[in-house]
Amino acid sequence: MQVKFIVPQNKNWYELESEINLFLNELDDSPNSIKYDIENCTAIIEYEEVRKGALCCECRFWDGGDSTDKLIGFCQRCGGRKRFSDKACNKYEDIRKR
C-alpha cells in the first residue's frame, strides 16, 4: 500500500483538482481510497503499486502450464507470453494475496 498527499501550492480548488487528476492518470488501477480535507485544501490517495523487484512468475496471473521447468508462460491478465524472469508489470498481484 502506498500513500500520496496532494497539497497544492496556492491552496485553491482548481489546482487541487488538477493535481489529483494528473496523479490518477499515472495510476494503472483505481486507487483504494481518496480522502479530502476541505478546510486545508488537501487530498490523501491510498493506492497499490507494483512490488519493486517482483517477477512475472511470482504473479498470481502467470500461467506456466502447471510445469515447474517452463521458461515461458502466459499472462492471464495482460494476455501475452512472458518469460518467467520478466519484471512484473503494473497489473501484478502477489501470488500470496487473496
pLDDT single digits (tens) 13-64: 889 999 999 998 887 677 889 999 988 999 999 987 766 678 888 888 888 8
The domains found in the chain, sorted by start residue, are: 2-47 (no CATH), 51-98 (2.20.70)
Q: Give the residue from 50, 74, 51, 71 showing the smallest Cα distance to 61.
A: 74
Phi/psi for 90 (5° steps) reads -70, -15
Distance CA 29, CA 50 (A): 11
pLDDT single digits (tens) 67-91: 666 688 888 888 888 888 888 887 7
Cell of 40: 486545508
Cell of 21: 487528476
